[in-house]
Structure 1
């Protein structure tokens, strides 16, 4: 009685096995054909092919190394700037005994440090040729790997761009009527350069400065500005309205990022299988990482305004919330349903931190505007 049943399942499994064999042979056929073609060629053709294949293998190995190796990542990095902060107003003499030595800008120092972290201490991933090439033509951002560091660096870069714009257009000049400081203008232009520029391009003149090269010139320009400040020849306008506008810009950036997170949460709830969730998360993390240092530096540069308008208490809460957000470093980013207990929504949690920080910055802004 069981013989027909057994025979049926034998036919089913035989068909499945034959189908798997056809699929495997179809997938392997191009490689078999290429191997057969390669064996029939002479060494004048074989050697260049071997060299190209070795270059590809070593190139991807090097890209894997730099894309997954995070050098000197430290959420508490602002402490190195706070330790040696000079007390006093930016641009004013350090003390009566040193009338020709003035207080430098901590915002400029932190900005320099963040650029150095992005392009000197680490390899700038967005302009790496294999990052631009993607995974066999598929952009890395659409894969679950190799894009986290790039997204983190781009998040930091948006903050640096914003800060250099504010330095050049408002903070580094008096009431917007004085001449723009050339060093700050050069830094602003350098940081506005394409984020993914490599030194070779398909358009004329075919050779161009790479993104890291342009960012390094921004470090030099910012350093030159702070030397002007140290020599008492520079200007830094630490007024209440300048701080208010800077906080407006920061809250606007954070609000925009919050909307990006919300959009991704609405677009997908695939949990660990959402390939875009990780780059959204690490972009946001990079932005908060950079703003944490920049805002601490802002407290130093605008210390008189903080004390006069008594916003220190609100700022301390925002500072604590920023630091708490930087403790959130899950191994795998999940964008699941917010009610899920198996695949949590890390984007929702990060968005919660964003909005908490933003609400405190808005409160600071309201106090300044009274």
Structure 2
């Protein structure tokens, strides 16, 4: 006889009474006597996925003290309690930093040029600052000032004992200003009468902390633009030595060749062959003048051209990737995000 056809099981075996039922099993061994049994958790009218409210099903008298089902006087249940909306800290559109605490560039040693998403006004008041741009390297001294627009690749490293100021400005504040800050890299020298310039920089930071209205920002940024226009021009730098001049000549030809060869996928070896030098000589020239190897210089120049095309043309990122010799849109997007922190589409949507 099959076990399923037997009707002589003793005490309901193998279907033993549940401890959760009102009368089955040993009531003394139940963990919460009468609680779950009285809740009728297996009733057919309860929809799947819905639990009974023990407070309404059992009543307050049957709830053990530890459950605290009833709300405290003067309070509401969690379901009805309105939680305050999460407050976001106001985005600081202008920041004034001490120059000695401002180090910018890649994680390499020394730092290599890298683009920023905001404008940077760098002013050295004491000591020296190593400033590396894609096509030049220079040590700034006391009184030197630089305006570096957003999207420009640069590296800044203050030397020991350097002091000064760095003003970081969100590009949205300077858009359509007349007069406005310089649209390209700007170099000048600050004279002894520089107190008004520092006052303007501090006032802008104060407006940012107070979350001031855009017209106030526009007014003070216009005054800053006028103050920059009244500064003396950049001081001439000493002429390079003959070996440095040779490196500069090779580097200039290398950079010019990259601009003409960008639509094609070329290697550093191909470029060195066209320049009539070895890859080692090309690397030495790039390291001496740019602080980076030839392949890094080529990639940086390609990204700079990509930034220009995203700002000044309506070419899609796919078209830009093909024009600049990337293997595809994915390759271009990864390289661009690694350098700027944003994908090309987001960079263009945010106004660069």
TM-score tier after normalising by the smaller chain length: under 0.3
Higher strand share: 2
Larger RCO, structure (CA 8 Å, separation 6 or more): 1
Between Structure 1 and Structure 2, the one with more helix by share is 1
Using the size of structure 2 for normalisation, the TM-score is 0.24
Greater Rg over alpha carbons, structure: 2
